[in-house]
Chain A
């Protein structure tokens, strides 16, 4: 990192620093994350030496594929396709892309999809737009035209210029096919299929080179860096401008990289990137198949599930990107967005279409925890679940894994509650009385019970089976009487911001964080705090950090068992 970037890193506001210090002084038992926030100003200034993030071989996700197709061929080339589910690694599907294999079934799917895409690209009404030249004879090969088209498509899909011999092979295949099929466009389609089904398109292979400024260190090469940035911030392959910056080497200069990152953060495409990130971090994949018992919750439909997810994503993007708000305030903010079906579930008045909405001050809705999305996703089909909600808060928002229940657990007390056990609190008390259960449920239930004023569909209630709901609880020592208090406690919980930092860093680099990254995470936490917890600043810090693009040649051996978060699993 050079002087010019460092200067920028120093630009933390005084208020941000004060906030960080204040937070450190009033928080509970110290954790690594908190230690990070309480570091001195000097620690905020300098990025620590870290092992960096190695190059990865990542499988492209469905959304990345579609976003890229939209850029290369136009937004209407959008095949209806679902890729195989990814493994969630350390809280992120994105990390699963570095492990995912591609089996025969998936390759068949890729081939079929490629065939569909190529067929629609050469459709007469679209070819004039996507295919920049006309063949001399539509019924025969035209090498020059094929070369012109394939070099552009290949470069965008492979995220780097095609080597001469590869381009020659593609042109050869297109031409031979055109001659055989007596159709220039059909021949071209065969070569486009070849590009699309290639591992160079479907896998993102990052490559590195020795870092001339740091002997013994490696850095991503220009095209790999362009890809890493682009998938991070835009959830799509690099566009022409980024590839150009890689081609000229501009991206490898500090000034050039800063300029590009700033351009990317200023672009509307950042919203696509952030929607993808938070959709992943919040485990919204769950919403795809979320359904409720229609007799118990008739107002909760597939439509409301879709809208609930959209509500939260709109709120996140609006708060963090458009308004450049403090990340922590997402969890107490009463500003959100509503659609008519969703408003009916909230039982609130609204107007047509999606509209910005402000919950009143006496509303129980305070922040993302009180959105229908969070409340319904972490409930059972016919009832709420303090345990699932508490677990989700710990795992998704504080990066604290909650152990699974033991195999021999006896659920009968929960499944067949006694008549006098009217509320969920009455029923889950069982957990806390049973020593086998208590260890883990003490971590989840006191948080989840604070959300009991919302039923399994996320609708507000004050009673359950005639009994008044007691929504008091505590989060790591902070007591509260209801969900608004929980939201405030979460807002001030140091794990909240350190968890986002950890996820954002891992998501960007494509690597699970390990203890080796502890110093880097501390640095990012401090920077994040200094910047008033503004997410675009965090993204910028990460994207411009040395460890985002550099790594030590001999990286310390990684021990999978030690890859837990910087914050301990339980208090």
Chain B
């Protein structure tokens, strides 16, 4: 199995032979990468997201060259020090077909759910982080964690279904308590309390195993093999439940942070948003390192951010600030985007600087970042910029600028799901439907 090339396996599965591949994808892939914890267990690959509002200005952002030796325009300047850790993807489109352009909404919804919303109260389905969490987030304390530096719990880009948002953590103090308060079971500590819900669910599986035995009495020899496979799958579920009911193995990198002395500040000045972003990011990094979750969402937001001495918030500026024809963008809007990118750089650096095993925590993550618009001034859904960060346990390379050629932005979500082991042939609705990975950054 170690010889399997990941993409070949995925392609083979797409070819129609998928149905009898019996091994859990993640194990196959992870072991092949030789990146394991000290005790030999494979390092889990985690999935994260990051969001910033109001897109980019092409002239100030999009590098002139693609590939590994691209140039940095002013809006990306802050990202220079972490260049090797991320990919920047430009010129992607969120297609809305016959749906309206719901300002500051359609764009992110398409990026995260694959479908264009018909009304502003309508999320067309679960978001990509939820889909991935259902795949990889079942053994951890939290299926996923979501935080927003914008200071508003409603600012979330994660939905279980059209009416179930996953509210954001906005208070550093509360987030700390939730993660590392009394209920925190330090993987390096001796005590552990299993979840009663998982316990009853596990006991129900035993009844299902009996159903397999029942059926075995009535089917032919060929079909017995298929039932065996079903049985194995049920055992796998049992094992997953067991894992959730078992005291976690010690994790060397996990260190419960010291209690926060004061809560995050309230306010919309970019420096205050950045301070909240820093506190929430630091907590998130440790939550991931302590394997409290394998799926994490962070929003920088920034649409209501203000600049000292400038009377309008960022979003208003996109509409009211004159277009500077000399540079071909709006100066203050671009200033706000640059602040957002500083925060993205901090986020990437925090994961990159955190040691895990022989590499960094970021090496075992795949993070995707997106915004709500391309050029926000005209609520553009084309010319969108996206990012990835991390190496996903060796499945992804970074340091590249990739031009999407106006293709679907949903390709990033689709690629992310494939990387995280979801066996899906395609993703997205109508013109956002794609079965094309962004192959340039896949190993």
CB B227 to nearest CB in A, in angstroms, measures: 7
Interface residues in B, total, Cβ within 8 A: 63
**Contact status of A302 and B208, CB under 8 A, knowing A100-B19, A101-B20:** no
The 8 A CB mask of B3-18 against A (1 = contact, 0 = none) is 0000000000010111
CA–CA, A134 and B23, complex, Å: 43
Q: Is B433 a contact of A103 with CB atoms below 8 Å?
A: no
Q: Is A199 a contact of B212 with CB atoms below 8 Å?
A: yes
Q: Scan residues 288-317 of chain A and give those whose CB is less than 8 A from a CB of chain B.
A: 288-289, 291, 294, 301-303, 305-306
Q: Is A86 a contact of B214 with CB atoms below 8 Å?
A: no
In this complex, which of A96, A102, A103, A107 has the most chain B Cβ atoms within 10 angstroms of its Cβ? A103
Q: Is A105 a contact of B19 with CB atoms below 8 Å?
A: no
CA–CA, A170 and B200, complex, Å: 12
The 8 A CB mask of A175-200 against B (1 = contact, 0 = none) is 01100110000110011011001111
Interface locus among A61-69, A77-85, A271-279, A394-402: A77-85
Q: Is B435 a contact of A289 with CB atoms below 8 Å?
A: yes
CA–CA, A199 and B214, complex, Å: 10
Q: Is A341 a contact of B98 with CB atoms below 8 Å?
A: yes
Q: Is B227 a contact of A104 with CB atoms below 8 Å?
A: no
Interface locus among B228-236, B248-256, B285-293, B343-351: B228-236
State which size class the interface on A falls in: 35 or more
Partner of B215, one of A180, A205, A303: A205
Tally the A-B contacts, defined by beta carbons under 8 Å. Answer: 162
Q: Is B425 a contact of A207 with CB atoms below 8 Å?
A: no
Q: Name the B residues within 8 Å of A166 (CB-CB).
A: 207, 210-211
CB A90 to nearest CB in B, in angstroms, measures: 14
**Contact status of A180 and B199, CB under 8 A, knowing A199-B208, A288-B433:** yes
Q: Is A104 a contact of B208 with CB atoms below 8 Å?
A: no
* Chain B residue, CB-CB nearest to A205: B215
Interface locus among B38-46, B218-226, B303-311, B316-324: B218-226
A504 within 8 A of partner (CB)? no
CB B138 to nearest CB in A, in angstroms, measures: 8
CA–CA, A386 and B229, complex, Å: 43
CB B152 to nearest CB in A, in angstroms, measures: 27
Q: Name the B residues within 8 Å of A112 (CB-CB).
A: 134
Q: Is B23 a contact of A104 with CB atoms below 8 Å?
A: yes
**Contact status of A302 and B431, CB under 8 A, knowing A105-B24, A197-B208:** yes
CB A454 to nearest CB in B, in angstroms, measures: 21
* Chain A residue, CB-CB nearest to B219: A57
Q: Name the A residues within 8 Å of B431 (CB-CB).
A: 291, 301-303
Q: Is B196 a contact of A181 with CB atoms below 8 Å?
A: yes
Partner of B200, one of A107, A111, A177: A177
Q: Scan residues 151-189 of chain A and give those whose CB is less than 8 A from a CB of chain B.
A: 166, 169-170, 173, 176-177, 180-181, 186-187
Q: Is B97 a contact of A303 with CB atoms below 8 Å?
A: yes
Q: Name the A residues within 8 Å of B212 (CB-CB).
A: 199
Partner of B237, one of A108, A176, A291: A108
Q: Is A102 a contact of B199 with CB atoms below 8 Å?
A: no
Q: Is B237 a contact of A107 with CB atoms below 8 Å?
A: yes
B266 within 8 A of partner (CB)? no
CB A107 to nearest CB in B, in angstroms, measures: 3
Q: Name the A residues within 8 Å of B230 (CB-CB).
A: 101-102, 107, 199, 202-203
* Chain A residue, CB-CB nearest to B113: A80
A87 within 8 A of partner (CB)? yes
B355 within 8 A of partner (CB)? no
B201 within 8 A of partner (CB)? yes
A11 within 8 A of partner (CB)? no
Q: Is B423 a contact of A105 with CB atoms below 8 Å?
A: yes
CB A494 to nearest CB in B, in angstroms, measures: 31
Q: Is A104 a contact of B204 with CB atoms below 8 Å?
A: no
Partner of B211, one of A87, A176, A200, A291: A200
Q: Is A87 a contact of B229 with CB atoms below 8 Å?
A: no
Q: Name the A residues within 8 Å of B201 (CB-CB).
A: 190, 193
Q: Is B98 a contact of A303 with CB atoms below 8 Å?
A: yes
Q: Name the A residues within 8 Å of B434 (CB-CB).
A: 289, 291
A88 within 8 A of partner (CB)? yes
Q: Name the B residues within 8 Å of A461 (CB-CB).
A: none
A126 within 8 A of partner (CB)? no
B185 within 8 A of partner (CB)? no
CA–CA, A181 and B218, complex, Å: 36
CA–CA, A88 and B25, complex, Å: 23
CA–CA, A82 and B425, complex, Å: 10
CB A280 to nearest CB in B, in angstroms, measures: 15
In this complex, which of A86, A193, A289 has the most chain B Cβ atoms within 10 angstroms of its Cβ? A289
The 8 A CB mask of A202-227 against B (1 = contact, 0 = none) is 11010100000000000000000000
In this complex, which of A166, A200, A203 has the most chain B Cβ atoms within 10 angstroms of its Cβ? A203
A267 within 8 A of partner (CB)? no
Q: Name the A residues within 8 Å of B240 (CB-CB).
A: 108
* Chain A residue, CB-CB nearest to B429: A302
Q: Name the B residues within 8 Å of A259 (CB-CB).
A: none
* Chain A residue, CB-CB nearest to B241: A111
Q: Is B135 a contact of A108 with CB atoms below 8 Å?
A: yes
B21 within 8 A of partner (CB)? yes
Q: Is A86 a contact of B430 with CB atoms below 8 Å?
A: no
Q: Is A288 a contact of B16 with CB atoms below 8 Å?
A: no
CA–CA, A504 and B234, complex, Å: 34
The 8 A CB mask of A105-137 against B (1 = contact, 0 = none) is 111110110000000000000000000000000
CB A7 to nearest CB in B, in angstroms, measures: 35
B67 within 8 A of partner (CB)? no
CB A145 to nearest CB in B, in angstroms, measures: 18
CA–CA, A180 and B207, complex, Å: 18
CB A306 to nearest CB in B, in angstroms, measures: 6
CB B438 to nearest CB in A, in angstroms, measures: 16
Q: Name the A residues within 8 Å of B21 (CB-CB).
A: 103
CA–CA, A526 and B18, complex, Å: 39
Q: Is A85 a contact of B425 with CB atoms below 8 Å?
A: yes
Partner of A103, one of B197, B204, B214, B233: B233
CA–CA, A291 and B434, complex, Å: 8
CA–CA, A291 and B414, complex, Å: 16
B296 within 8 A of partner (CB)? no
Q: Name the A residues within 8 Å of B357 (CB-CB).
A: none
* Chain A residue, CB-CB nearest to B134: A112
Q: Name the A residues within 8 Å of B17 (CB-CB).
A: 87
A255 within 8 A of partner (CB)? no
Q: Is A86 a contact of B19 with CB atoms below 8 Å?
A: yes
Q: Name the B residues within 8 Å of A176 (CB-CB).
A: 200, 203
CA–CA, A281 and B18, complex, Å: 21
* Chain A residue, CB-CB nearest to B425: A85
Q: Name the B residues within 8 Å of A173 (CB-CB).
A: 200, 203-204, 207
B52 within 8 A of partner (CB)? no
CB B113 to nearest CB in A, in angstroms, measures: 10
Q: Name the B residues within 8 Å of A101 (CB-CB).
A: 19-20, 22, 225-226, 229-230
B189 within 8 A of partner (CB)? no
Q: Is B210 a contact of A169 with CB atoms below 8 Å?
A: yes
* Chain B residue, CB-CB nearest to A292: B431
* Chain A residue, CB-CB nearest to B234: A107
Q: Is A199 a contact of B218 with CB atoms below 8 Å?
A: no
B126 within 8 A of partner (CB)? yes
Q: Is A302 a contact of B25 with CB atoms below 8 Å?
A: no
**Contact status of A190 and B204, CB under 8 A, knowing A80-B126, A169-B210, A180-B196:** yes
CA–CA, A187 and B204, complex, Å: 10
Q: Could you name 19 residue pairs across A and B whose Cβ atoms are closer than 8 Å?
A: A57-B219, A57-B226, A87-B16, A87-B19, A88-B16, A96-B19, A101-B230, A105-B135, A169-B207, A173-B207, A176-B200, A198-B207, A199-B212, A203-B226, A205-B218, A205-B223, A289-B433, A301-B97, A301-B431
Give B residues with C-beta under 8 Å from A: 14, 16-25, 95, 97-98, 125-126, 134-135, 138, 161, 196-197, 199-201, 203-205, 207-208, 210-212, 214-215, 218-220, 223, 225-227, 229-230, 232-234, 236-237, 240, 406, 421, 423-426, 429-435
With contacts A105-B135, A190-B200 known, what are 15 further pairs, Cβ within 8 A? A57-B220, A80-B126, A101-B225, A103-B229, A105-B24, A107-B233, A173-B203, A176-B200, A177-B200, A181-B196, A199-B215, A199-B227, A202-B230, A288-B426, A301-B430
